[in-house]
Structure 1
């Protein structure tokens, strides 16, 4: 078991995440720690990091180092970004950090910061094309992604904290508009950004998560996690309007924001609004992954030709099955049988390939909850799908999968639940594989028979009643 510690000493906050990597390559974040270091706040008029800022950085990194020792960290990846990058005395800061903590920090360039943010998103979201934006405290990285590849990137030396400071002399009621105009003009200097018209925006970092919190409170909706949360253009415009007119105290109430976030959320939202207006973005997606996850995936995939996954869903499901001690081969047999049944009954349900894919992954992950409780595993599978690190699925897709697994929700999902139930009986009790069976629909009669002939030798009476109720189909087995 390998324990990896990643420290991201950012311009607004400093964060530690510890990953555990198992012998079979399975992984999970096992510990997180955050400090509101606010290094950009300590940059003086000459762009030097003040003595107080250096002391703050040393104190917080020392706390991370101590926590890492308690948790048995075997390898460290410490990086720092825009605030120290912009500091005139950055060499002194990095040297003193090393002297006091024993950690050698890597100072990322703006392009490297963009690259790692891209890696963190592209390996955890099933998205092919989009404009990614990572709004930090002292810089904003914008990335264009085509066919899952990074084609353009720029690091702009203005973030939520530095923009707040830059426009603090403007009357409060005009600050948001002033920052929006300033950032629109800044984005206009990059022709490739203007060429991204109509693409969705993927927001990375604390500002994006805060926008999701505000959207949730505005619509009074439940949110199990921020990653993959989608905000339409109208809602984004409503958030901008609410932020524009509100005081710091009122902003806190909009999304139950922290004091620090409420002080600068207007600047972050202005950046998003400026970018969305520049490309007429139809929607805004929130990513819970970014730079730290990108650093992790580079480490995890260091022996691969590329650190970019082709299939996020497949990779993430396999990782989850290994973490929760589910036999992936057995799960795949159940999933294969389920989609064979789906295909056989297609003339009756007329559902497309996207639903077929969700049925497959619902069947693959159906047994994860047995890791917690074998008798009530469906309840725990539901919880794990939403609460652990299953990537590549939208929140709507996750909701559909849990309904298929539990047999609840719309009629379609209750029907698909039967396919998993029948598939489990065929695999678990009969030891059958899909490739060894024939599935034939003739009128309203479904015949399942061994390809080699002979009896199926399984009692399917209970499932047969369900098929007849949901589809009007009579099940026939030899």
Structure 2
């Protein structure tokens, strides 16, 4: 079966098309995305503007055309923190449903964490033992830990790379005192949930997903994407600590010249690095192993589980 999933994230909106069959792993067939940055369209009252809503609607229509061109039989869609927190998110999704027929499901933060954990578990397999997952998006940070496919604990915190940058790291680059203040805030928020993670057992493998973590791994020496998804990539805490002061001192234009940091991610890579480094410090993580599968794959895998065996 050829399946498609529309992922309305805080930074980008993706369409992933895969060939998926019962008992087999999903094989990517096509990708289509736009850097929409929905939080940038949100006003002071927490509502997404008409322009932002129109751009999202237009992209969903594009996705329908792409899905038709690629012979997609089943199309799913979901939205994460930007729509979840928007005052008019339900109205936007209802308009999309009426005008396109596409029903985008709003994922609660815990479900976002749980489904990303499922993707990591399937990627690494049972032999990896207990996993601790770190996933950072534009609007939220997801943490999960467990031994089975459904984690024992699945958490979502409002510490996304885009959110931290937008709300707390003004300036290009931000002032050192500002960075110090944000560092303290991030660590205080993460420390509040460490007991929930620690009480379920000591992980055997620490896993990182998301574009931000892949970028940080590349920045600190991991193999480029051209070497394929099966190449092992890691992010070491000591390496991240070494590059953090450099990122904090750089203007956005200089960050965009670094390996693994795209122009669209250069603004928020500092905020993302600060969050990831704080998690690694507080959880005692020396190294994250990068997982190429994340939330979109988790949604597809969950759907595949509903298909009866032939």
2: CA distance, partners of 1:3 / 1:197 = 39
The reply to whether residue 64 of structure 1 matches residue 67 of structure 2 is no
Residue among 172, 187, 195 paired with 1:184: 187
1: CA distance, partners of 2:229 / 2:240 = 15
Match of 2:240 in 1: 236
Match of 1:34 in 2: 33
Q: Secondary structure at the match of 2:124?
A: coil
Match of 1:284 in 2: 288
Match of 1:267 in 2: 271
1: CA distance, partners of 2:181 / 2:32 = 34
Q: Secondary structure at the match of 2:296?
A: helix
* Count of aligned pairs between the two proteins: 302
Is the CA contact (8 Å cut-off) linking 1:200 and 1:283 kept in structure 2?
A: no
CA gap 1:162/1:301 in 2 versus in 1, 3 angstroms: same
Match of 2:304 in 1: 300
Return structure 1 stretches of 4+ with deviation > 4 angstroms. 22-27, 194-200, 220-223
Higher relative contact order (CA 8 A, sep 6+): 2
Q: Secondary structure at the match of 1:155?
A: strand
CA gap 1:243/1:3 in 2 versus in 1, 3 angstroms: same
Residue among 204, 211, 217 paired with 2:209: 204
Match of 2:85 in 1: 86
1: CA distance, partners of 2:185 / 2:217 = 24
Equivalences for residues 298-447 of structure 1 within 5 A: 298-303=302-307
Q: Secondary structure at the match of 1:262?
A: coil
CA gap 1:23/1:203 in 2 versus in 1, 3 angstroms: closer
> Which deviations, in whole Å up to 9, do the C-alpha atoms of 1:390-424 show, x marking residues without a partner?
xxxxxxxxxxxxxxxxxxxxxxxxxxxxxxxxxxx
1: CA distance, partners of 2:259 / 2:198 = 31
CA gap 1:199/1:273 in 2 versus in 1, 3 angstroms: farther
Match of 1:213 in 2: 218
Match of 2:228 in 1: 225
RMSD over aligned Cα atoms = 2.5
Q: Secondary structure at the match of 1:31?
A: strand
Gaps of 5+ in 2: none
Q: Secondary structure at the match of 1:104?
A: coil
Is the CA contact (8 Å cut-off) linking 1:199 and 1:282 kept in structure 2?
A: no
Q: Secondary structure at the match of 1:183?
A: helix
Is the CA contact (8 Å cut-off) linking 2:10 and 2:138 kept in structure 1?
A: yes
Q: Secondary structure at the match of 1:77?
A: strand
2: CA distance, partners of 1:53 / 1:89 = 11
> Which deviations, in whole Å up to 9, do the C-alpha atoms of 1:108-151 show, x marking residues without a partner?
11111111111111111243223212211111111122366511
1: CA distance, partners of 2:123 / 2:94 = 34
2: CA distance, partners of 1:132 / 1:179 = 23
Gaps of 5+ in 1: 306-478
Q: Flag the structure with higher helix content.
A: 1
Match of 2:17 in 1: 18
Match of 1:162 in 2: 163
Match of 2:129 in 1: 128
What is the TM-score normalised by the length of structure 1?
0.59
2: CA distance, partners of 1:198 / 1:296 = 26
Deviation at 1:290, TM superposition (A): 0.6
Match of 1:73 in 2: 72
> Which deviations, in whole Å up to 9, do the C-alpha atoms of 1:445-468 show, x marking residues without a partner?
xxxxxxxxxxxxxxxxxxxxxxxx
Deviation at 1:14, TM superposition (A): 0.6
CA gap 1:9/1:84 in 2 versus in 1, 3 angstroms: same
